[in-house]
Amino acid sequence: MTDTSHSNEQSQGERSSLSAQVLAKIEKDGVPQTPKIMFTAAEWSMWILWALSILIGAVAFSVIIFFSMHAGFAFYEATHEGFFDFFLDIMPYTWVGVFIATALLAHHNLRHTKRGYKYQVWQVLLSSILLSFAGGIGLHMFGVGFHIDGFIAQRMPMFPAMHSIENRLWQAPLDGRMLGQYLPGFEEGMEHMMRFQDANGAVWELDIAELTPSDLELLITGKQMRIVGVPSTTAPNIFTGCGVFPWVMDHNLTLRDLRLERDHFIERMKLHHEKMLQMLEATSSLPNAGFHIACATNPAVLRIAR
Amino acid sequence: MSDEEAVALALKEKAFFGHIVLRYEDKLLRYIRRLGIHNEEDQKDVLQNIFIKVFRNLQGFDSSLSFSSWIYRIAHNEAISHYRKASVRPEGHLVGESDDILALISGGEASAEQKFDARVSAELVNKALKQLPQKYKDPLILRFFEHKEYEEISDILQIPPGTVGTLIHRGKHELKKLLEQHSEHI
């Protein structure tokens, strides 16, 4: 039997009976009509969830920007063997995860609005990502990334916040890195030594013989600084400073700032290596105690020299 | 009376909903049959469920959409939900005019191809369509047997209009390949 003939078999009576059956069922079961407000609420909730996803995505992106700008790319030779190790170590996996999740959530919510299906997956995803990017840049400008990271670092010590990473990477005196600030006051007869308090509160005798005037200028501001150096192998709490770099987590950095920071670091580290080469050429023998070349053994100086 | 006017009346007075049922029951019956619901009892149940759902959601009908697209969307979703509940795979059984079938299989390309296409019976098209993935089958049925525009298909299947075009194009291509395979066996 063809479908056309099948269809013809349905009499007018049969057809109208379906209509009657449907109306009877509606009456008998008391089928309610979903109120319009429910549809409006559902539509609004999708839009609100979409906007929330974009906002959370923007916050995540602002923290990612903060990480990217302040992870210490300029000094990666001081903290890691190579750039790849550095990248894997400082990558803000949680925030990248949050960002991806919110982009997918935004996609899901927008697709479930009344007209969301009209757009291609890539259009919805791209627009959500771009909006989060734009929002993230805006929030970063207001320091939201920095404050959120600091807030989380204070309340959740286990969370890999930049503030904690910064401490882990730079508060490592035995590996030639310290984070902290200068304590005023010289000791008599020890003019090449300064007192320095690290991030853990320990006080060090900082040998400034290999520091430049600009390093010292930075140091005596009393602000938090990063110091690259060499710990003494003979006396505890003595640290030879090889370079002083400002701690700028609370400042917005531009790409130009990052480039300058990088150039400055390379230049400073190279200087120690060149100094050692010059000294070796001049003496053509092992250096004697009168020369200050401890910094040439700092891991960052060796890596850059390589 | 337009569909939208019928909806407005049905919203005021339940009895007018009967007009909507009368207006769409044949079309939707044909459609769900094409989607693969063969059993007469199942057809009745599915059809009744479709209209109950339409009634339940009538206040949510978005008048910026055509009512026809909206009711077809509900019918399509209900048919899918029927397959899921019954855990069966839909098997297309098309009811189409020979012109529909020709339009489906000929792309307006070569006349020799059209001559070949013309020899292809509806039965062959049915066989080939059964093997076609659902994602191609749905837009092809709507386009060539229900004579829906791309925009309407987009609203019914809730996919972007661009995707409708792509699926129809690819679907026809796949269908032609299957038809050629089948015709070789004749």
pLDDT of residue A4: 44
CATH 1.10.10.10 residue ranges of chain B are 98-183
Contacts of B95 in chain A (CB under 8 A): 2-4, 7
User: Which helix (H) or strand (E) is A203 found in, with range?
Assistant: strand A203-207
Contact A18/B59, CB-based, under 8 Å? no
**Contact at 8 Å (CB) between A241 and A210?**
yes
Beta bridge partners of A207: A193, A240
Nearest-angstrom CA–CA distance, A191 and A194: 8
Average predicted confidence (pLDDT) for chain B? 82
CATH 1.10.1740.10 residue ranges of chain B are 3-86
Contact B57/A114, CB-based, under 8 Å? no
ipTM of the complex as predicted: 0.78
Nearest-angstrom CA–CA distance, B89 and B106: 28
> Which of B51, B158, B161 lies closest to A22 in CB terms?
B51
What backbone torsions phi and psi does residue A146 show, to the nearest 5 degrees? -60, -45
The amino acid that residue B25 corresponds to is: E
Q: Which two tokens stand for residue B22?
A: 């009368």
Question: How many separate helices (H) and strands (E) can be counted in chain B?
Answer: 10, 0
Nearest-neighbour CA in chain A from B55: distance (Å): 7
Q: Which of B20, B22, B43, B126 to mutate to test the interface with A (most CBs of A within 10 A)?
A: B22
Q: Closest by alpha carbon to A164, among A176, A179, A182, A181? A: A179
Q: Which residue on chain A is closest to B56 by alpha carbon?
A: A33
pLDDT tens digits for range B11-52: 888 888 888 999 999 999 999 988 888 888 889 999 999 999
pLDDT of residue B105: 57
Nearest-neighbour CA in chain B from A130: distance (Å): 21
Q: Which two tokens stand for residue B63?
A: 């008048």
Contact A19/B22, CB-based, under 8 Å? yes
> Which of A22, A34, A118 lies closest to B52 in CB terms?
A22
Contact B15/A23, CB-based, under 8 Å? yes
pLDDT of residue A105: 94
pLDDT of residue A3: 45
Q: How far is CA B178 from CA A51, A60, B131, B164, in A?
A: 46, 50, 8, 21
**CATH number of B98-183, picked from 3.90.15.10, 2.60.40.10, 3.40.50.2000, 1.10.10.10:** 1.10.10.10
Interface of B with A (CB under 8 A): 11, 14-15, 17-18, 21-22, 25-26, 29-30, 33, 44, 47-48, 51-52, 55-60, 62, 93, 95, 154, 158-163
> Which of A18, A26, A34 lies closest to B25 in CB terms?
A18
User: Which helix (H) or strand (E) is A229 found in, with range?
Assistant: strand A225-231
> Which of A2, A20, A39 lies closest to B59 in CB terms?
A39
Q: Closest by alpha carbon to A52, among A44, A40, A41, A62? A: A44
B98 contacts: CB under 8 Å, gap ≥ 6: B122
Q: How many CB pairs under 8 A join A and B?
A: 80
- State the CB neighbour count (10 A cutoff) for residue A121: 11
Contacts of A107 in chain B (CB under 8 A): none
Q: Which of A4, A5, A12, A18 to mutate to test the interface with B (most CBs of B within 10 A)?
A: A18
> Which of A26, A35, A114 lies closest to B52 in CB terms?
A26
Q: Which two tokens stand for residue A152?
A: 């989380």
pLDDT tens digits for range B92-132: 555 555 556 556 655 544 455 555 555 556 677 777 888 88
> Which of A3, A32, A119 lies closest to B160 in CB terms?
A119
pLDDT less than 50: residues of chain A: 1-11
- Residue ranges of alpha helices (H) inside A156-254 are 162-170, 213-219
Contacts of A32 in chain B (CB under 8 A): 56
Nearest-neighbour CA in chain A from B110: distance (Å): 31
Contact B21/A18, CB-based, under 8 Å? yes
Nearest-angstrom CA–CA distance, A296 and A269: 8
Nearest-neighbour CA in chain B from A131: distance (Å): 21
pTM of the predicted structure, to 2 decimals: 0.75
Q: Which residue on chain B is closest to A38 by alpha carbon?
A: B60
A296 contacts: CB under 8 Å, gap ≥ 6: A272, A273, A275, A276, A302
Q: How far is CA A202 from CA A152, A178, A182, A226, B62, in A?
A: 25, 11, 12, 15, 70
A100 contacts: CB under 8 Å, gap ≥ 6: none
Contact B17/A4, CB-based, under 8 Å? no
pLDDT of residue A256: 87
**CATH number of B3-86, picked from 3.80.30.20, 3.50.50.60, 1.20.120.80, 1.10.1740.10:** 1.10.1740.10
pLDDT of residue A302: 85
